[in-house]
Amino acid sequence: MEAGIFRYKLDDLQTKIISDKYKFVLQLNTKRATERRKPEQISSIDQPFNHERFNFTKVKKHEILFEMKPVSNHVGNRLDVQQNNITAVTAEKEHNPHLVIINISPLEYCNVLLVPHINSCFPQILNQISIKLALEMMLLSSKKSLRLAWNSLCAFASVNHLHFHAYYLERDLYTEIAECQQVEGTLFETTDWPVRSFVLQLNGSDLQSLTKDIYKVTSYLHANNTAHNVFLTRGDCPERRPDGRTIRVYIYPRQSFYGAKTFMAFNPAVCELSGHILVKCEEDYNKLTEETVIEILKQVALPDKQFEDIKTHIQDLFK
C-alpha cells in the first residue's frame, strides 16, 4: 500500500450491520466507485476474449503475489517477469501458471484475484479446472472469513478474463446459515433468502464431485444464456447435519445487465447477492434499510416462473 501500487488506500472501511432479519453487512467504499479502472463494456455472456483490451497478462510485475501450483503439476516450471509484463516460459514449453495477483482496486481486506492458467486467456466462463482451483484455495485457509466470488459476463464482471475474487470479511453473513431445501440429490435451493439461488456443499473432502456438480449448473446456465454469480463461503450444512460446518456454494441465476457498470446505491453483483453490500456513497450508506437493499436485489433476480423452468432442467441433471 505504501509503495503506491494500489489505486487507493483502503484504510478502515466504515462497516455496519442492518439489524433486521438478514443482517446485511454494509461497507462504504467510495474510492472503489470513483477510482477503479473503467470496467469493460459487456454486450454478451459469450463475449470473446479481446487481447487488445485490459487483461491479466498485462499486470505489472509487482502486482503478482504468487503461483498456485497443484503438487501433481510440479515439474520444474519457472515464471519470468520481464518489462513489467508477464512472460511465462519453461525449458520445454510455455508455462501457463495459476496466478494470484493483487486487486489494485480492493473491495475488502486482502482482496486478491485468482487467475487460472493465465496465458490461456480464457474468457470469463467457468470451467472445471477453475472451479476446482477455487475450492482448493478455500481449503488452503482455515479462516471462516475467507470468501471467493465470481461474476459471469452480464452479471457485473468487469474484466473478460477468467478470474475469481478472494477476500476476508470478518463479519458473519446470513448466507452462512440460510435455510435450504433439497431439489435433487446434492442440489439444494434457498428458501430463506431474498434472491432465489441454488446451493451445493462440500461433502467430506470430495472436491471432484463438488466441482462436477457446480459445473453442471453453471454450464447449463451459460449454454442457456443466463447470467449468473457464484459465491463460496464456509457455513452450515444445508440439510443441518449434526457434523456442522462445510463449504457452501451459492449459484445465482439472474437478469443480464449490459454495458459498463452503473447502478443505484450499489451494484448488485455476487457479494451483494450474498449479503455483503458495497455502497458507493455516504448518503446511501446512511439511509439504506433492509427493505431498500432487498428491493434493489430483487430488480436483478429472475421472475419465479423463469427460475422454476431453469430448476426443472437442472434438476434433471442431478437425477
Q: SS3 string of 184-223?
A: ECCEEEECCCCCCCEEEECCCCCHHHHHHHHHHHHHHHHH
C-alpha–C-alpha distance, residues 2 and 11, integer Å: 11
Q: Distances in Å between the alpha carbon of 4 and those of 13, 102, 104, 110?
A: 19, 13, 10, 16
Helix axes 304-317, 207-223, angle to 10 degrees: 130
* CA dist., res. 257 & res. 262, Å (int): 10
Q: Which of 95, 98, 163, 165 is catalytic?
A: 163
- Grid cell 485457509 is found at 141
Q: Contact, 207 vs 257, CB < 8 A?
A: no
Would you call 62 a catalytic residue per the annotation?
A: no
Q: Which amino acid is at 273?
A: L
How far apart are the C-alpha atoms of 134 and 318, rounded to whole Å? 22
Instruction: List phi, psi (to 5°) of 297.
Output: -60, -40
**Do residues 290 and 22 touch, judged by C-beta distance below 8 A?**
yes
The set of cell numbers assigned to 95 is: 508455462
Residues annotated as catalytic (active site), given as ranges? 163
